[in-house]
Amino acid sequence: MTTEDGRRGMLGQTLDCVRCDAFELPADFVTYGEPPVFTEATMPDPLRTNHTTRAGVWAKIVVLEGRLRYRVDALDVTRELSPGEAGVVLPEVAHRVEPLGAVQFRVEFYRAP
């Protein structure tokens, strides 16, 4: 909606997010923090179970070596991640990862500038 009345009429409504549907990071978002590199042995247990990011925080799972299974049950999405095939984490959407053998990866966090 492009008018004040139109916007007001949409308050409280669930809207489609084109970027979310495509698992695509917003182009102007910036990374923050220095992400550690995890392996199948060093990854924190919470990454293996459903967890979420905070409101407004997106993330990208970057596999350096090996493979990870990335699951987003609420959206019925399962993807195999490998070098060159990153996984985008949507804000506040439960997800988890599972190592598929030996793996090295990091999680980069993004927010609006």
- Structure confidence at residue 4 (pLDDT): 79
Q: Could you say which residues of the chain have pLDDT below 50?
A: 15, 18-19
Level-2 CATH architecture, domain 4-111: Sandwich (2.60)
How does the average pLDDT of the chain come out, rounded? Answer: 88
Strand-pairing partners, residue 111, are: 30
- Structure confidence at residue 50 (pLDDT): 97
Count of all residues that appear for the chain in the document: 113
- Structure confidence at residue 24 (pLDDT): 79
- Structure confidence at residue 105 (pLDDT): 98
pLDDT digits (tens, 9 = 90+) for 37-61: 999 999 999 999 999 999 999 999 9
48 CB contacts (<8 Å, ≥6 apart)?
A: 96, 97, 98
Report the alpha-carbon distance of residue 34 to residue 23 in Å, rounded.
Answer: 22
